[in-house]
Structure 1
Amino acid sequence: MLGSRETQPRQLIVTIFGLYARAERNWLSVASVVKLMADLGVDGPAVRSSISRLKRRGLLHSERHAGAAGYSLSESTLDLLAEGDIRIFERSRSEVGDGWILVVFSIPEVERDKRHALRTTLTRLGFGTVSPGVWIAPGNLMREVRHTLERRNLVSYVDVFRGDHLAFGDLRAKVRTWWNFEELNTLYADFLVRYRPALHRVTAGKLTPCQAFTKYVPLLTEWRRLPYRDPGLPLSLLPPGWKGETAGELFDKLNRALSGPAREHATEVMHG
């Protein structure tokens, strides 16, 4: 199974809920999740243990429907998944003319939990670090940044500015100090190595719905981490040999080929 050796069961479970629970009135039975995870090579005890962890973390809530035990996604998790849908399936690339967003903050030591939450949030939004209290992102992310900071009650800790780089120095050189492109490009290259060999068989329609499911869920689980690391900078500012565009095109092709048959299999298991 592609990608499974580095993926935790709880990450696969979140992907399954994100893909299929929202279309099922935000609920999946425990039995369905166990069966679907078995298709991914994860046994029942590991599934139940992972679900318990997700419940303790507040991502899932236990509910019974028609006497059957199951779980629903919490409101905060639903919001995160909705944000993720845009990042994963509607990736956008900025242009130089979009300018930049600067977030400036200074949070006292006694509120270091808020400082950690803010840094985590900015990282997930694709911000780079100019200095410890000054973070930067492409200007086209402004709406998403505003919404996310408001939803997470972090607006009182930040000032947000928007502007252009006027002078001095080479902007291409500067962005490479603000973001770790080498690490991100390595992740994209690894994704290409891992999933490119499957492209022909997948797009030729030679997989059963179950086989499509076993490839699609790990694929999406691995891919969904990458758009959060990538700010979508203009191509003219990215380093030579950038793999992000090629990896994104590969994901799009695999997503189009696998998502439908995978859903067919999941629906059969959930309603079978």
Structure 2
Amino acid sequence: MPEIAPRQLILTLYGLYARDEHNWLSVASVVKLLSDLDVDPAGVRSSISRLKRRGVLESVKVERTAGYCLSPGALELLREGDVRIFSHPRARLADGFVLVVFSIPESERDRRHALRSTLAEMGFGTASPGVWVAPGTLHEHTVRTIERMGLTDYVDLFVAHHRAFGDLRERVAEWWDLDAIESEYNEFVVHFQDAPKRFAAAADGPKTAFEIYVPMLTEWRRLPYRDPGLPLELLPEGWIGSRAEDLFADLDALLRRPAREHALRTIHS
């Protein structure tokens, strides 16, 4: 799998541990935790600075100790992501589809590009250049996202069912790059399928759990956005995403608690 960017690991740390620590982690504890993941201190500090410039982290001192908290916007996004990442609800055919139809003038092409990028990041497929489609289960999330972007004047949302014409499975294969999604699921399985053996053989179980769990979750949390939870009836037979979902659930159950033990031991040291 490709190397994970330090900023992604930092976001995972904050999502897992900062929210239960009054939404704050010291710079020293972040540096120390990421050293366990072979990230050098300079890389951690520069990544934190970039996240601050992007409005994801805010600088806060607690008892003269330098640290950062998640911004209100970042907290909201993480709360929305929790449901998708940890439960990854899969749609049924009866849920239909949510359609996003938009027309944004050329004078605001930057906002048009931002909307397209956001829809792609949410897992929408493209039925045509101005029509984006996703399972109906994403309707409420889509409404909140478009409201947050201030684009309600340019967008129409529909919830619909495919009635005709053509085969819906074939259409889905046109709207989404299923081969690419399945390839990413396969990489996840190959990379982490031996993690239980590594954990079982570890001399320091909590530290090893942390070393596995944080990168594993960081890799996983983008996959439910690549695959928006399409109904299994519309996916290729033997869809490896189902195996990846089971592996993630097993590793989450096995590693989450001991990884947290190590993280809190470091944070409170």
Which category of TM-score, normalised to the shorter sequence, fits these structures? over 0.9
Instruction: Tell me the secondary structure at the aligned position of residue 239 of structure 1.
Output: coil
The alignment yields a C-alpha RMSD, in angstroms, of 1.5
> Which of 35, 39, 42 does residue 36 from structure 2 map onto?
39
2:263 counterpart of 1:266 = yes
Aligned residues: 269
Q: Which residue of 2 aligns with 1:180?
A: 177
5+ residue gaps in structure 1?
none
Instruction: Tell me the secondary structure at the aligned position of residue 169 of structure 1.
Output: coil
CA distance in 1: counterparts of 2:231 and 2:6, whole angstroms = 35
2:131 counterpart of 1:134 = yes
CA distance in 2: counterparts of 1:187 and 1:156, whole angstroms = 36
The 8 Å contact of residues 10 and 54 in structure 1, kept in 2 or not, is answered as yes
Q: Which residue of 1 aligns with 2:164?
A: 167
Q: Which residue of 2 aligns with 1:14?
A: 11
Q: Which residue of 1 aligns with 2:72?
A: 75
Q: What is the TM-score with the length of structure 1 in the denominator?
A: 0.95
Q: CA deviation at 1:137?
A: 1.1
1:117–1:203 CA distance, 2 compared to 1 (3 A) = farther
Aligned pairs for 1:201-216 within 5 A: 201-202=198-199, 208-216=205-213
Q: Which residue of 2 aligns with 1:109?
A: 106
Q: Which residue of 1 aligns with 2:92?
A: 95
1:232–1:204 CA distance, 2 compared to 1 (3 A) = farther
Q: Which residue of 2 aligns with 1:195?
A: 192
Q: CA deviation at 1:238?
A: 0.3
Amino acid at match of 2:189: L
Q: CA deviation at 1:199?
A: 2.8
CA distance in 1: counterparts of 2:150 and 2:120, whole angstroms = 16
Q: CA deviation at 1:209?
A: 0.7
Hey, which bits of structure 1, 4+ residues long, moved more than 6 A?
A: 203-206
Q: Which residue of 1 aligns with 2:240?
A: 243
The 8 Å contact of residues 182 and 240 in structure 2, kept in 1 or not, is answered as yes
> Which of 44, 48, 59 does residue 45 from structure 2 map onto?
48
Q: What is the TM-score with the length of structure 2 in the denominator?
A: 0.96
Q: Which moved more, 1:200-209 or 1:255-264?
A: 200-209
Q: CA deviation at 1:166?
A: 1.0
The 8 Å contact of residues 202 and 257 in structure 1, kept in 2 or not, is answered as no
1:257–1:222 CA distance, 2 compared to 1 (3 A) = same
Amino acid at match of 2:260: R
Deviations 1:75-97 (A, max 9, x none): 11111111111110121111111
The 8 Å contact of residues 201 and 207 in structure 1, kept in 2 or not, is answered as no
Deviations 1:162-204 (A, max 9, x none): 1211111111101100001010000000111101122344478
Q: CA deviation at 1:206?
A: 7.0
- Overall identity of the aligned pairs, in %: 57
CA distance in 2: counterparts of 1:142 and 1:208, whole angstroms = 41
Q: CA deviation at 1:36?
A: 0.4
Amino acid at match of 1:188: Y
Deviations 1:49-84 (A, max 9, x none): 111111111111111000100011111111111111
The 8 Å contact of residues 203 and 257 in structure 1, kept in 2 or not, is answered as no
Q: CA deviation at 1:255?
A: 0.7
Q: CA deviation at 1:106?
A: 1.2
CA distance in 2: counterparts of 1:13 and 1:228, whole angstroms = 19
Q: Which residue of 1 aligns with 2:214?
A: 217
